Structure 1
Amino acid sequence: MISQKPHIIVEDSVQYQLGELKENQIHYDFDKLLIYLDVKGKLLFGKKFKIFEEDREIVFKLCNYFIQEEVNCKKLGIDINKGILLSGPVGCGKTSLMKLLPSIVPHHRIYQITPTRNVAFAFNHTGYKTIEHFGNQKFYCFDDLGVEPTGRFFGKDCNVMGEILLSRYDLFLKHKIKTHATTNLNAKELEDRYGNRVRSRMRQLFNLVAFEKSSEDKRI
């Protein structure tokens, strides 16, 4: 059941108001979103979690996308109808953010975060049924896109995630089903991994949101 006040979230008996409800529309406050994300992040990932000052711009972009703030998204060059491809160096916090940010919009449809290597391993066991499975109308966020092993079933190799992305592109065109992903690779590396055809589809499937190359490994 959808809460009648999705802008007010309770964690450990503490109430967090993320904005104001006016004329059946939520007007979010970014500073309040940051306060809640810090609290929720510590609950999900431990007391050492924090949102680093250098990541505020990335978090601002992603918050605007998740709350579907059309005016700001347009200024930021983000299409609210596409998915998110969040790229950046190893350990910069991509996966944590994609796990965390849906918590600010509990009334929105949730996606399942799935490591791409698990998808490749599943293909090795069940073959092309895996591609059919992930080509369904569920929402997914594919984690660590591009570093998964090549699939192999009955002696035949398959670029599993490449095929799935093509299927997800068709779903996007026909049913507006979004796909999200995280990756450590840059555009050239993704094209080398999946080919020009898939890379072309990815441009239409995703908004690219990128951490700086100099972003530190926060897991150290």
Structure 2
Amino acid sequence: MTNPSKITEGGVEFSIGTFNGKAVNYNFHKIIIYLNAKGKLLFGKHFKIYEEDHSIILKLCNYFVKDYESCNRDGIDPTKGILLSGPVGCGKTSLMRLLKFIVPLQRPYIVIPCRNIVFGFNHVGHKIIEDYGNSQFFCFDDLGVEPMGRHYGKDCNTMGEILLSRHELFLNHAIKTHATTNLNAQELEDLYGNRVRSRMRQLFNLIAFDKNANDKRK
């Protein structure tokens, strides 16, 4: 029987809690040790989890491991996706790429930059909107800084259209969508309009870094 509290990386076994045969009792300290190790494998030896980010990471961990009591305390709805916001370089993308590994038995999501999606739209048109309005789980990275889509001379707010499609998927099939953004709620509304913004409230739990969070890239 698979033990979901044990994860092996690079020949090393990590424990992220204890398993009683039915459920995992997760240990946040052990999860941090694992995330540091996995982060170094994914992003290089200079990667590290910063203590100042532990409160954000704890909320994200509680969400991903479906700790309903903690989610309820933090005002997080486990049925929705995550919109992780914060300043440039605070580590949003790295965390979203990392955290899916603590729940290897859950259905994974694909992290994809929004600008790549728009470039695809410019090349092949509305098929791209259909492709990202499917039942795959996605995390749209850097939402809101992508250019306007343009195909055969016609402009299209590509990510806005995709978010509308994802909202339909969420309502009809409980398909989750995640995203990261540098923008605040007002900036997102200015960019995508009130219609999309209201649907984003239904799609996402907003988890935000402090606006003064350090740029880890420096």
Alpha carbons of 1:10 and 1:23: their partners in 2 closer, same or farther (altered >3 Å)?
closer
The partner residue of 1:173 within 168, 171, 174 is 171
1:132 paired with 2:134, answer: no
1:102 paired with 2:97, answer: no
Task: Tell me which residue corresponds to 1:49.
Answer: 47
Q: Deviations over 1:95-123 (max 9, x none)?
A: 00000001111111111111000111111
What are the equivalent positions in structure 2 for 1:12-51 lying under 5 Å apart? 12-51=10-49
Q: Deviations over 1:34-68 (max 9, x none)?
A: 11111111111111111111100000000111111
TM-score (ref. length: structure 1)? 0.97
SS at match of 1:84: strand
Task: Tell me which residue corresponds to 1:113.
Answer: 111
The partner residue of 2:209 within 208, 211, 216 is 211
Unaligned 5+ residue runs, structure 1?
none
**Cα separation, 2, equivalents of 1:22 and 1:70:** 18
**Cα separation, 1, equivalents of 2:145 and 2:100:** 25
What are the equivalent positions in structure 2 for 1:131-170 lying under 5 Å apart? 131-170=129-168
Structure 1 residue ranges (4+ consecutive) displaced by more than 6 angstroms after TM superposition? none
SS at match of 2:212: coil
Q: Is the contact made by 2:38 and 2:98 (CA closer than 8 Å) also made in structure 1?
A: yes
Q: How many residues align?
A: 218
TM-score (ref. length: structure 2)? 0.98
**Cα separation, 2, equivalents of 1:47 and 1:151:** 37
Relative to structure 2, which stretch is displaced further, 15-24 or 146-155? 15-24
Q: Is the contact made by 2:137 and 2:176 (CA closer than 8 Å) also made in structure 1?
A: yes
Unaligned 5+ residue runs, structure 2?
none
Which amino acid letter does the alignment assign opposite residue 118 of structure 1?
Answer: N
Task: Tell me which residue corresponds to 2:75.
Answer: 77
